[in-house]
Amino acid sequence: MPRYKLLLEYDGTTLVGWQRQAQGVSVQSLLEDAFEKLGEKGAFVQGAGRTDAGVHATGQVGHVDLAKEWDPWRLCGGLNAHLKHAPVSVLDAQLVDEDFHARFSATSRSYMYRLVVRSSPLVLDAHRAWRLPPPFDVALMQEAAQVLLGTHDFTSFRASECQATSPVRTLDRLDVTEEGGDVRFFIEARSFLHHQVRNFVGTLQLVARGRMTVAQFTDVLEAKDRRRAGPTAPACGLTLTGVGY
């Protein structure tokens, strides 16, 4: 059976996440329903990352085995025709070797978290960013963020329902930028624990708002205790921007 790699974009606002569930609409269910309408009944789309409800993607990757070989351009167009009323778009489709796996072949995953610092509520970006009021010290937060780089036991930033066998991960990048109150976190690693990125942001914002020092943030990491860290940042600010192979 020919295997295809899919590059995907989606708005997760109204979705229950990547994975098909008993209730609610997921990215996976929308894609598999589109394949069925193309005549590929039983197609099972596997993703590089199981994004949560409300999380967006501009560079999610999936793979699927199909009953027949398709011209990639026609496959992409056909899927999008059946997804025209859905918050999911197929940006590209490629025929790949049968040993390619969207999840297990991945060597890196990149996320961007967006936070807007202002007093007024968000309207246009209400489902695309987390709003927090000033004052907000981005430079101090960036200093604290560098503590997370490298290989660590990230138990303090791991969701209680995380099913990973080990809390140890290697963080390759965590950069923070700011322009006009628009704060963006660019984060990259081979893999992440459940809610790890959102827990990073939820704790780092305490540093930026003067509620935690850089030294205390370091203590949180070393404590290996989720109760010592900050809240989980809202899903709306998180976007999966790319997967490396």
Within the chain, which residue ranges are assigned CATH 3.30.70.660? 108-244
**Tokens for 206?**
């305490």
Mean pLDDT of 17-28: 95
**Tokens for 210?**
């003067």
CATH dotted code for 108-244 = 3.30.70.660
* Closest listed residue to residue 51, CA positions, set 142, 112, 120: 112
pLDDT over 90 for what percent of the chain?
98
Within the chain, which residue ranges are assigned CATH 3.30.70.580? 3-96
Structure-token match 């950069």, residue found? 175
- Give the whole-angstrom CA distance, residue 118 versus residue 96: 46
pLDDT in tens, 129-181: 999 999 999 999 999 999 999 999 999 999 989 989 999 999 999 999 999 99
What type of residue sits at position 10? Y
- Give the whole-angstrom CA distance, residue 10 versus residue 88: 4
For residue 195, the model assigns a pLDDT of: 97
| Strands (E) located in the chain | 3-10, 46-47, 56-65, 88-96, 108-117, 130-132, 150-153, 168-179, 182-189, 238-244
For residue 49, the model assigns a pLDDT of: 93
Q: Which residues contact 224 (CB under 8 A, 6 or more apart)?
A: 153, 155, 156, 167
**Tokens for 70?**
């398709």
The catalytic residue positions are 52
Mean pLDDT of 232-244: 98
3-96: CATH class: alpha beta
Band of residue 95 on the pLDDT scale cut at 50, 70, 90: very high
Whether the bond into 135 is cis, omega within 30 of 0:
yes
Mean pLDDT of 57-63: 98
**What average pLDDT does the chain have?**
97
Band of residue 59 on the pLDDT scale cut at 50, 70, 90: very high
Band of residue 45 on the pLDDT scale cut at 50, 70, 90: very high
- Give the whole-angstrom CA distance, residue 181 versus residue 243: 28
Please give the DSSP secondary-structure letter assigned to residue 103: T
21-22-26 Cα angle (round to 5): 35
For residue 51, the model assigns a pLDDT of: 96
Show the DSSP H helices in the chain as ranges: 27-37, 72-82, 138-145, 196-208, 214-223
